[in-house]
Amino acid sequence: MKILNDLKYTKSHEWIKVEGDKALVGITDYAQEHLGEIVFVELPEPGAELAAGDSLGVVESVKAVADVYVPASGIVKEINEELLDDPGKLNEDAFGNWLISLELTDPAQLDELLDASEYEKLCKEED
């Protein structure tokens, strides 16, 4: 299982990477491993305003359907349309294939998320 040090994580296995005034959001390597083969992704419309903890969409695998939650409040600027055609890319590289790009509306919420070492501890506890 891969965990990147430059990201923040949620207890529900999403990651967020801040790049200037925008942030990329995706599911973690741990999440994709536990879901298995991902066959469908549902994402919000650009322009949607999401509050931290809101569902941003759904990831469906051959064995489960999982809601994906937004780690911090913001406005959806872009969705990763490649995943709509090829959701299996999340299994190939969960960190290289983000789900949405957000314009953050409350960057202070990032301080409430887990860092890499805290997230690694959480994953070990869940296994």
Q: Which fold has domain 8-105?
A: OB fold (Dihydrolipoamide Acetyltransferase, E2P) (2.40.50)
Q: How many CB atoms lie within 10 A of CB 79?
A: 20
Regions of the chain with pLDDT less than 70: none
Reported as a single tens digit per residue, the pLDDT across 31-59 is 999 999 999 999 999 999 999 999 999 99
- Integer Cα distance of 23 and 35 in angstroms: 24
Residue 92, pLDDT score = 95
Residue 1, pLDDT score = 86
Residue 19, pLDDT score = 86
**What are the structural domain ranges in the chain?**
8-105
